[in-house]
Structure 1
Amino acid sequence: MLFLKISSPYFHSCFSLPSEKDPMICTNELPQISSEAPAHWKMVLQGIRQMRSSADEHQPVSREKAADTVPPKERRFAVLTSSLLSSQTKEHVTRGATQRLGENDLLTADAMDKADEETIKKLIYPYDGDIPSSIEELLLLPGVGPKIAHLVMIVGWNNVQGICVDTHVHRICNRLGWVSRPGSKQKTLTPEETRQALQRWLPKEEWVPINTLLVGFGRAICTPLRPHCGDCSVNRFCPSAFKETSSLSSKSKRFTSNKKP
């Protein structure tokens, strides 16, 4: 899960990916797109945005002033901690754990250092109580993969170095035929392969909003099992439309017909 929602007022507005209305963050040093973009990709994104707009209007995002007073170093450490928790737990578990850590003043590097945890101390010591400020250094931390590293760079350091690709983004991009393995038309096998393939053609201004957009779309319509293709306004552009749904239905019918009376 990438889109972190923290219920505590202290953290609520700190850990979500920037929206399309937020100021553009640093992308100046990123490589230019080079591969040919898929046909109709702009129409597909626009269609998904329209489908998501009404749903997102009913999910208010709080912007408490308290969050603006959080020191940047503490905020970055909290982002990393929450990201690590979220990669292994469900949303409500992450939310509760992060809130309890915050309420007990344990969401700072100094506090964890004083808690006598040798492992934590070894992890934070080389960075002077702050988190690493590069993808390469973040990836050296145990439990941090490309997805978390790019998330932390965006939310913690306000620096876009790549696209945050989770299972939703990975699944939907493959269904749409937007990504493939290098030198072939085969689907990408991992989120990291999807990230690299997507970055070859997707304009940089879309690198941040595409995660939140496709995660919401993947939860509501383009679900892992039995996707709601009939409710999708861009299904005419999707080479996978109705195929997974009909396949599951056929299997169910065969299973039923093979049952003995």
Structure 2
Amino acid sequence: MEQNAYQIKNWIQKFQTLVALMLSSQTKDQITAEVMGRINSLGLTPFKFSKMSLKDIQNIIYPIGFYKVKSKYIYSTSNILLEKYDGDIPNNFKDLLELPGVGPKMALLAMKIAWNETVGIAVDTHVHRLSNRMGLVKSAKNPEQTRNQLESWLPKEYWSSINHLLVGFGQQICTPISPKCSQCLNTTLCPYFLENKPSR
């Protein structure tokens, strides 16, 4: 009985991990956390979401960014998970990508968080920007080009940590506008700083 309860808890956690990733896009972390707290307290599962109206789902996930579109993603994904995976989430990158609203970054993070498997580098806007700015990649035009270039030279043992490191750095120091170069320890190696540092 205990093992069965553990399996159910693990199954719900994996599903809610996927939902959290879907909701986090274009949404502040604090809002995502608040909404996920609501979802967790309600014990929402693919089965429960599949029985809800889109309006009910919207009311639960509001004020998530693009909540109307994401409510459709959650509803459709819940039904697919029930039909194809017995309510669990896919255990591979390819099948995760086929779920509505799930892109490469989300699928890779889901593989790492839910299945503890690192199969690629999750590239979001911060990783994409910093990789180009710091010369880690060469003129990558989109996150997938950045991912492919990073994976071509960065040892796999570092794939799971680079997202976490660069996201925090990009949020606090190497910001999109007016990066805080005076607080950065990488200035002697950074092409952006060397090209834009004030002349003496």
Report the residue type matching 2:79 in the other structure.
K
Counterpart of 2:48?
Answer: 111
- 1:3-34, Cα deviation, whole Å (9 max, x unpaired): xxxxxxxxxxxxxxxxxxxxxxxxxxxxxxxx
* Aligned mates of 2:19, 2:193 — CA distance in 1: 38
2:35 is the alignment partner of 1:85: no
Counterpart of 2:130?
Answer: 172
- 1:208-259, Cα deviation, whole Å (9 max, x unpaired): 111111111111111110011121111010111164676xxxxxxxxxxxxx
**Aligned residue pairs: how many?**
172
Contiguous gaps of at least 5 residues in structure 2: 1-5, 55-74
**What secondary structure, in the 3-state scheme, does the structure 2 residue paired with 1:235 have?**
coil
* Aligned mates of 1:212, 1:119 — CA distance in 2: 29
1:172-211 alignment, distance < 5 Å: 172-180=130-138, 187-211=139-163
Q: CA 1:128–1:69 in 2, change beyond 3 Å: closer, same or farther?
A: closer
* Aligned mates of 2:118, 2:53 — CA distance in 1: 34
8 Å CA contact retained: 1:226, 1:245? no
* Aligned mates of 2:91, 2:100 — CA distance in 1: 16
Provide the alpha-carbon RMSD of the alignment: 2.1
**What secondary structure, in the 3-state scheme, does the structure 1 residue paired with 2:131 have?**
helix
Counterpart of 2:80?
Answer: 123
In the TM superposition, residue 200 of structure 1 has moved relative to its aligned partner by 0.3
Q: TM-score, normalised by structure 2?
A: 0.79
Larger Rg: 1
1:136-147 alignment, distance < 5 Å: 136-147=94-105
8 Å CA contact retained: 2:77, 2:100? no
Report the residue type matching 1:77 in the other structure.
F
Counterpart of 2:40?
Answer: 102
2:170 is the alignment partner of 1:218: yes
8 Å CA contact retained: 1:112, 1:120? no
Report the residue type matching 1:241 in the other structure.
F
8 Å CA contact retained: 1:164, 1:211? yes
Q: TM-score, normalised by structure 1?
A: 0.61
* Aligned mates of 1:147, 1:101 — CA distance in 2: 22
* Aligned mates of 1:71, 1:85 — CA distance in 2: 21
2:13 is the alignment partner of 1:75: yes
Report the residue type matching 2:122 in the other structure.
C
* Aligned mates of 1:208, 1:93 — CA distance in 2: 25
Higher relative contact order (CA 8 A, sep 6+): 1
* Aligned mates of 1:69, 1:93 — CA distance in 2: 29
Which of these residues, 155, 158, 175, is aligned with residue 116 of structure 2?
A: 158
Counterpart of 1:64?
Answer: none
Q: CA 1:147–1:245 in 2, change beyond 3 Å: closer, same or farther?
A: farther
Q: CA 1:123–1:217 in 2, change beyond 3 Å: closer, same or farther?
A: same
8 Å CA contact retained: 1:227, 1:244? no
In the TM superposition, residue 70 of structure 1 has moved relative to its aligned partner by 7.1
Q: CA 1:133–1:207 in 2, change beyond 3 Å: closer, same or farther?
A: same
